[in-house]
């Protein structure tokens, strides 16, 4: 059976374009979601995952309707694979029931891993550069070494777009406000480091 999933980010947006395309592609059931891609509580997506069966195909209008990030998209498609369900993106001409579609998602997964490594590498490079300029401990004033380590972890995890900030805060035993503040401090610190490096080069 072909199952459709349609999503828009706000209640004011219209699902008609997606629904019409999914119906034209032969979807017998369409799950309709009105939630931001960054919202972890996508109830209709959860509902669909509970009800699809092996041999079904899940169709979306475009890739960004399913995943809130490349990492999330790969994870969702892997769930379909575990459930023995094919995934089809109409506008992107991707069908994981074909050899070509499977290959494309292997490439996507490799790119997602590469992107994560680049983010971590850039963060560490920025901190190393700050230490070389004489910043004590490679961290801004007002943060202990332990707090700064957590701040860097928050920044890295958030940049990877693997989890939402509330989830990161919970994992690291922080309040949401502290997690957001830590992320802002690291971003500001790295931005200042980059500015100083640019000034020195001039």
Which residue of the set 9, 36, 69, 164 is catalytic?
9
For residue 9, indicate whether it is catalytic. yes
Other Cβ atoms less than 10 A from the Cβ of 90: the count is: 19
List the catalytic residues.
9
């Amino acid at each position: 059976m072909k199952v459709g999933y349609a999503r828009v980010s706000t209640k004011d947006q219209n699902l008609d374009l997606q629904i019409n395309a999914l119906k034209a592609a032969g979807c017998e059931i369409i799950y309709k979601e009105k939630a931001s891609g960054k919202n972890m509580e996508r109830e209709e997506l959860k509902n669909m995952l509970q009800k699809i069966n092996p041999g079904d195909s899940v169709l979306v209008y475009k890739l960004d309707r399913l995943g809130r990030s490349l990492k999330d998209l790969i994870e969702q498609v892997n769930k379909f694979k575990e459930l023995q369900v094919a995934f089809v993106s109409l506008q992107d001409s991707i069908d994981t029931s074909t050899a070509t579609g499977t290959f494309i998602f292997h490439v996507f997964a490799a790119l997602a891993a590469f992107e994560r490594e680049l983010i971590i590498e850039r963060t560490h490079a920025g901190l190393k550069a700050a230490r070389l300029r004489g910043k004590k401990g490679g961290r801004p004033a007002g943060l202990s070494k332990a707090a700064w380590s957590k701040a860097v972890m928050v920044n890295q995890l958030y940049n990877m777009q693997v989890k939402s900030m509330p989830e990161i805060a919970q994992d690291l035993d922080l309040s949401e406000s502290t997690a957001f503040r830590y992320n802002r401090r690291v971003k500001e610190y790295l931005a200042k480091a980059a500015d100083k490096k640019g000034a020195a080069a001039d």
